[in-house]
């Protein structure tokens, strides 16, 4: 009974927050109507719980319990804190696009001298124009998932990036999500990346806290369309504060002969979930998805991937590694569906977990649904501890126990990290892993 009462009070509080914020959210007319329907879809479902199969390991009714009030627009103090955090996570040679508390920060971003064929706008700007075709794409994610529906209803800002056919980008694009507020709040963002034919682009996403930002919530969504013959390399680093929640979703669609190479690493947040749907819409395309969870304390990180092979002659590879210490909990759910027309599909998935303590936990759930007969598909999952014989070998050669463990852990996650094509970004991921290793007791 107490849980039901608390849930009702939480629902009323969120309804009041949406009613207050509705008139300040970007977009009127049909956009406002879509927001209202999305919020009603969320209200009907509420926070996901373990009785929903896709959320069985990440019960937000127990872990999150409530959605915090929307973050206020960042003031001068929040922007100053965000600027200081940005310096600590600076990447050389990228075009930086910064969102602070869910609002684009032009003074912290680099939008001058854009390459020919590159267009960057804010979500707010696009939603307040009459571009109904683009609006339809921005609201395309399926609102049957309650957290996607909530994001559709509450999103405040983000980036809309368009790259024309044949354009040449000289720098990776780096979207930096910064929690700059000193008080607990929820941040709602949505971005879109549309890549034209034969383009080669790199997108980096970072989630970081400013000094003093702790118990906040990130609700993010990304929509990606990759044109025929184009390639996108995507690197995603979650280094949120240790009391934060990060619930992110993405939808990726590939044209013919396209290539999508993505890597994600989670070492921050108290609770995080990254759910993505990758749809093959054109023949001859390839996807490589790689990920690493580095968890300790009571951290919980969930990676849920759905690859939809709907056309022939496409290939996909999934490699996922998790290293879990203390009472951490890593979740990997990988689902590959091969539809009847998707002959000559080549799809493989492998997930491995390394448990560093008796109380660490890893749940791996690979799934294959195959409705075509001329395919090559497979999956595997393993869970284990550090090899004692290898530890003894390294200790016998003068390494301390911590140094020996660090060396073996680096080798364990190395296969996934090596998938990053850009040398500087690969070093960035290696540095993030090394920081996690150094922080271990």
Residue 398 has pLDDT above 70, yes or no: yes
User: 160-208: per-residue pLDDT in tens?
Assistant: 999 999 999 999 999 999 999 888 999 999 999 999 999 999 999 999 9
Residue 3 has pLDDT above 70, yes or no: no
What's the average model confidence in pLDDT over 325-329?
97
Residue 390 inside a domain? The answer is no
The pTM assigned to this predicted structure is: 0.94
User: 311-320: per-residue pLDDT in tens?
Assistant: 999 999 999 9
Number of domain units in the chain:
1
What is the rounded average pLDDT for all residues in the chain? 93
Q: Which residues contact 173 (CB under 8 A, 6 or more apart)?
A: 94, 95, 97, 161, 193, 201, 202, 203, 204
| pLDDT score recorded for residue 1 | 30
Residue 102 has pLDDT above 70, yes or no: yes
Residue 403 inside a domain? The answer is no
Residue 326 inside a domain? The answer is yes
Q: pLDDT-derived band of residue 289, with 50, 70 and 90 as boundaries? A: very high
What's the average model confidence in pLDDT over 267-295?
97
| pLDDT score recorded for residue 4 | 37
Residue 372 inside a domain? The answer is yes
| pLDDT score recorded for residue 320 | 96
What's the average model confidence in pLDDT over 129-136?
85
Residue 151 has pLDDT above 70, yes or no: yes
| pLDDT score recorded for residue 441 | 61
Residue 61 has pLDDT above 90, yes or no: yes
Q: pLDDT-derived band of residue 53, with 50, 70 and 90 as boundaries? A: very high
| pLDDT score recorded for residue 12 | 61
User: 258-273: per-residue pLDDT in tens?
Assistant: 999 999 999 999 999 9
| pLDDT score recorded for residue 190 | 98
Residue 374 inside a domain? The answer is yes
| Widest Cα–Cα separation across the chain | 71
Q: pLDDT-derived band of residue 11, with 50, 70 and 90 as boundaries? A: low
| pLDDT score recorded for residue 5 | 35
Residue 255 has pLDDT above 80, yes or no: yes
Residue 26 inside a domain? The answer is no
What's the average model confidence in pLDDT over 138-145?
86
Pairing relationship of beta strands 315-324 and 200-209 according to DSSP bridges: unpaired
Q: pLDDT-derived band of residue 49, with 50, 70 and 90 as boundaries? A: very high
Question: What are the Cα distances from residue 19, in Å, to 12, 14, 32, 371?
Answer: 10, 9, 12, 45
| pLDDT score recorded for residue 132 | 83
User: 342-394: per-residue pLDDT in tens?
Assistant: 999 999 999 999 999 999 999 999 999 999 999 999 999 999 999 999 999 99
What is the rounded CA–CA span in Å between residue 347 and residue 163?
Answer: 29
Q: pLDDT-derived band of residue 13, with 50, 70 and 90 as boundaries? A: low
Structural domain including 197 reads 70-385
What is the rounded CA–CA span in Å between residue 154 and residue 334?
Answer: 28
Angle between helices 401-417 and 388-395 (to 10 degrees): 120
Q: Write the DSSP symbol of residue 118.
A: E
Q: pLDDT-derived band of residue 6, with 50, 70 and 90 as boundaries? A: very low
Structure tokens at 218: 């990130």
Residue 124 inside a domain? The answer is yes
| pLDDT score recorded for residue 2 | 35
| pLDDT score recorded for residue 8 | 44
What is the rounded CA–CA span in Å between residue 440 and residue 57?
Answer: 25
Residue 430 inside a domain? The answer is no
What is the rounded CA–CA span in Å between residue 154 and residue 189?
Answer: 8
């Amino acid at each position: 009974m107490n849980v039901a009462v608390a849930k009702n009070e939480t629902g009323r509080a969120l309804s009041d927050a949406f009613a207050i914020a509705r008139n300040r959210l970007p977009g009127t007319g049909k956009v406002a109507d879509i927001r209202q329907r999305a919020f009603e879809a969320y209200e009907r479902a509420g926070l996901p719980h373990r009785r929903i199969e896709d959320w069985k390991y990440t019960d937000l009714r127990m872990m999150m319990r409530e959605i915090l009030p929307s973050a206020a627009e960042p003031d001068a103090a929040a922007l100053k804190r965000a600027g200081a955090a940005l310096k600590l996570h600076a990447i050389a040679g990228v075009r930086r696009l910064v969102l602070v508390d869910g609002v684009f920060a032009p003074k912290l971003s680099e939008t001058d001298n854009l390459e020919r064929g590159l267009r960057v706008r804010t979500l707010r700007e696009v939603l307040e124009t009459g571009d109904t075709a683009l609006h339809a794409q921005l609201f395309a994610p399926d609102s049957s998932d309650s957290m996607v529906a909530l994001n559709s209803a509450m999103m405040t800002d983000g980036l809309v990036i368009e790259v024309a056919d044949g354009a040449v980008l000289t720098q990776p694009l780096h979207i930096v999500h910064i929690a700059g507020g000193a008080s607990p709040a929820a941040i709602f963002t949505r971005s879109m990346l549309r890549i034209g034919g034969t383009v080669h682009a790199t997108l980096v996403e970072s989630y970081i806290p400013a000094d003093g930002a702790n118990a906040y919530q990130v609700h993010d969504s990304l929509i990606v369309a990759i044109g025929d013959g184009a390639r996108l390399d995507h690197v995603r680093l979650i280094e949120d504060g240790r009391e934060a929640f990060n619930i992110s979703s993405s939808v990726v669609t590939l044209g013919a002969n396209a290539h999508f190479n993505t890597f994600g690493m989670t070492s921050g947040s108290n609770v995080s979930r990254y759910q993505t749907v990758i749809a093959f819409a054109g023949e001859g395309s390839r996807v490589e998805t790689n990920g690493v969870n580095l968890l300790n304390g009571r951290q919980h990180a969930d990676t849920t991937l759905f690859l939809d092979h709907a056309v022939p002659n496409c290939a996909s590879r999934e490699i996922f590694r998790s290293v879990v210490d203390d009472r951490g909990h890593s979740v990997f759910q990988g689902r590959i569906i091969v539809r009847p027309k998707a002959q000559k599909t080549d799809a493989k998935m492998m997930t491995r977990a390394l448990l560093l303590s008796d109380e660490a936990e890893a749940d791996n759930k690979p799934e294959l649904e195959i409705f075509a007969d001329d395919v090559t598909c497979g999956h595997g999952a393993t869970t284990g501890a550090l090899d004692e014989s290898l530890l003894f070998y390294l200790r016998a050669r003068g390494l301390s126990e911590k140094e020996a463990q660090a060396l073996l852990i680096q080798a364990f996650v190395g296969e996934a990290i090596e998938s990053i094509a850009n040398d500087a970004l690969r070093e960035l991921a290696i540095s993030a892993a090394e920081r996690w290793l150094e922080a271990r007791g």
